[in-house]
Amino acid sequence: MDDKDIIDRYLNDETLPEDELTKRHWQILEAALKVFSEKGFEGSRTSDIAREANIAEGTIFRYFKTKKDLLMGLFIPLVVKFFRPMMFKSVERLLSNDENKPIEQVLKEIFMDRLELIRKNAPLVKTIFMESAYLPEVMDAIRDQLIPKFVPVINKFFKINMDNGTLREMEPGLITRTVMSMLAGYVLLTTNFPNMFSAEDDEKEVEKIVDILLRGIKK
């Protein structure tokens, strides 16, 4: 079974345990993540990864044929931590809004939920999305396997709020793209340019972002 098959299984089966892969498999992926996040894909060597994993370099090639396969293999922990059904349940629960919370509160809780997850897994997120700009296979996997899993759910939430009069009529996908851009931009700027875009309190900053999203900046 190749990595694509494993990714598909993790995406579609919330009962699949993480030990579907061997301990050695995870050991190599964790070492690769550390090396890639520090040196970048091009600047990393399999010998560096082997040293970090405390294994012989030849052992890596028993699990991954090339360095590129190793990078693609990082989609497995990405899927496990972000996109498999059990990890997306929290967003679905918030979007269902069973408690009839104000939309400001729902959006704030979604932002904070995903922000906390991103912060906890910053090296993984940084590595995957930085390298996706240079490797078409990575971008294809994000576009074809990951994005379609959650965008329709968010679109549906905004459409419901248009139908009940909370939001004005517009393309739901436009709002979804805007929300995702705001979250991604906030993470990118505060993480990589803290001197210019520091935020002492994520929660207060998110409240302001949601306010701008819903009310704009025009007086």
pLDDT at 84: 57
Longest dimension (CA), the chain: 63
pLDDT at 107: 93
The helix/strand/coil state of 102 is coil
pLDDT at 1: 47
Instruction: DSSP for 8-45, please give it.
Output: HHHHH-TT--GGGS-HHHHHHHHHHHHHHHHHHHHH--
pLDDT per residue rounded down to tens, the chain (219 residues): 455 565 565 555 555 455 556 788 888 988 998 999 888 888 999 999 999 999 999 999 988 888 888 888 887 777 666 665 555 667 777 778 777 889 999 999 999 988 888 888 888 888 887 777 777 777 777 787 778 877 888 999 999 999 999 999 999 999 999 999 999 899 888 888 888 887 778 999 999 999 999 999 998
- Crossing angle between the packed helical segments 172-192 and 103-120, to the nearest 10 degrees: 40
φ, ψ of residue 173 to 5 degrees: the values are -60, -30
Rounded distance between C-alpha atoms, residue 140 and residue 15, angstroms? 26
Q: Which of 149, 164, 5 is nearest to 84 (CA)?
A: 149
Q: Are 151 and 173 in contact (CB under 8 A)?
A: yes
The helix/strand/coil state of 27 is helix
pLDDT at 118: 86
Quote the CATH superfamily of domain 3-215. Tetracycline Repressor, domain 2 (1.10.357.10)
Domain ranges of the chain: 3-215
pLDDT at 203: 92
